[in-house]
Amino acid sequence: MTEPLDTTHARPAGASDELVAAVGKLSEALETIERARGALYEAHQLIGGADAMLDDVVDGLRAAGHPDWSDRIATELVGRNVLPGRWTFQVVEEFDDGYYRAWKDLERGVREATTAGRRHVHEAEMKRRRITPGGPGQDPVP
């Protein structure tokens, strides 16, 4: 079957196989950046949570008769920057506003300039090729 799944994912007239593959690969790379961004946000939340736990650690060590360790953790770890001058929220903001935004803008720009802004044209064509007509759960569109 070669007809498109729907107009939203149809290959624009004149778009070559090489172009569709390259734009598809760019979108796939952006998906990898999205996963990395999720990992960065996860690190942000994990580090913030661990920092918050230190309040109990400081209190517990002090109550257990270890004020030296309590003071040291309070001074050296509580509220510590993860990078010079930065907490994780600042790292996330800089990532989002710089590197991530550049990826998003360029991927969108390439799609708009080459495939009429259509997303997942490559994947839609792969889906169409892999559908078994009449097969269970293989409807071409919802």
Structural domain contains residue 81: yes
State the pTM of this model. 0.86
Number of domains in the chain: 1
Q: Which of 117, 45, 116, 57 is nearest to 87 (CA)?
A: 45
Structural domain contains residue 46: yes
- pLDDT tens-digit series, residues 88-130: 999 999 999 999 999 999 999 999 999 999 999 999 999 989 9
Residue 2 pLDDT more than 70? no
- pLDDT tens-digit series, residues 55-96: 999 999 999 999 999 999 999 999 999 999 999 999 999 999
3-state helix, strand, coil in the chain (%, to 5): 70, 0, 30
Structure tokens at 128: 């169409």
What is the domain range of residue 102?
15-128
Structural domain contains residue 8: no
Structural domain contains residue 140: no
Structural domain contains residue 10: no
Structural domain contains residue 4: no
Instruction: Tell me what pLDDT residue 94 has.
Output: 98
81 residue type, one letter: N
Q: How many residues does the chain have?
A: 142
